[in-house]
Amino acid sequence: MLDLSLRLAAVLEELPVAVGLVSPKGRLISKTGSMTSMLGANVPSFDPREAGRWDFRDKGGSAIPATDWPSGRALRGERHYDGMIGTFIDGEKQKVKIIAMPVFDPTNQVGAITFLQSLDSKGRSAAGSHHDLQRRLIDELVKAVGATDTRDALVSIRMSEH
């Protein structure tokens, strides 16, 4: 498992992406990838300081509340493969697609896997990947979190948050 983790981390460091594992209370347990500087200690849906670094708008141009951003929805148990496109506004503005999916620990507490992907000015993937690849990657990450050692880590972190 360690060898696979190291290989995955090495691949993610070369792509314009980030992946984070989120606790039931919105804390980022771990993160990897070249875009991790966009991820703070907590997900923006749970932390107003982090939310201030992002801007999400609906098709009509109205601001979307942080509680309805991808990680907030995933931590409510919602699955949305299409994700959401937002703008990282802390420093140089950058369009980012974010997909977050719920994952469950052995006690059925919900956490999340969050996937960030850089987009070009036209909203296309900066890495040129396709929707099917994103969906497969998210599915595999969710399966990986189902592995015993990862679930045990989620349980111990959840216990320490109480």
The reply to whether the predicted model has a pTM over 0.85 is: no
Average pLDDT over residues 17-29: 91
For 118, other C-beta atoms within 10 Å of its C-beta total 19
Q: Which domains does the chain have, with CATH numbers?
A: 2-161 (3.30.450.20)
pLDDT confidence tier of residue 153, bands split at 50, 70 and 90: low
55's CB contacts (< 8 A; 6+ apart) are: 63, 86, 87, 89
Summarised one tens digit per residue, pLDDT across range 57-108 is: 999 999 999 999 999 999 999 998 889 999 999 888 999 999 999 998 888 8
